[in-house]
């Protein structure tokens, strides 16, 4: 009787092995899918960071060009006075001249309505 049981046992073991392989294959497919989605998300985040850095570089290049085109003999404070007289706000003057906002506000209070030009 034990000899007749052996082929059934072998078939049962082969079926169990096939089921284990099928389970492992499906698990591998799910893990690869998760890996692909995480990689895609990571690449999207990197692309956003690169785009932000490119915008920052462009903005800084523009600021540098604006400073190069302005009169090199003028100090940032003289430039700020001129900008204030032209009607720019304190925050605009501070960002364009590279001075603090409080310095720009002081210049506004001193020169905005100054009768001398």
- Name the nearest CA neighbour of 106 among 115, 95, 117, 94: 94
pLDDT of residue 77: 87
Segment 20-49 mean pLDDT: 96
Greater pLDDT, 112 or 23: 23
pLDDT of residue 114: 64
Of the pLDDT bands very low, low, confident and very high (cuts 50, 70, 90), residue 71 is: low
Contacts for 74 with CB less than 8 Å, ≥ 6 apart: 82
* Residue owning tokens 């956003």: 48
Of the pLDDT bands very low, low, confident and very high (cuts 50, 70, 90), residue 48 is: very high
> Model-level pTM greater than 0.75?
no
C-alpha dist (Å) from residue 116 to 68, 86, 104 = 27, 13, 18
pLDDT of residue 5: 83
87: left (phi over 0), alpha (psi -120 to 50) or beta: left
């Amino acid at each position: 009787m034990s000899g007749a049981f052996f082929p059934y046992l072998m078939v049962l073991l082969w079926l169990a092995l096939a089921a284990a392989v099928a389970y492992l294959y499906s698990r591998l497919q799910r893990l690869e899918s998760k890996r692909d989605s995480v990689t895609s998300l990571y690449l999207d985040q990197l692309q956003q960071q690169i785009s932000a850095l490119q915008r920052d570089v462009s903005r800084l290049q523009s600021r540098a060009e604006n400073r190069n085109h302005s009169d090199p003999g003028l100090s940032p404070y003289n430039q700020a006075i001129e900008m204030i007289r032209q009607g720019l706000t304190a925050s605009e003057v501070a960002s364009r001249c590279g001075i603090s906002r409080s310095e720009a506000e002081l210049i506004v209070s001193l020169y905005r309505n100054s009768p001398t030009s």
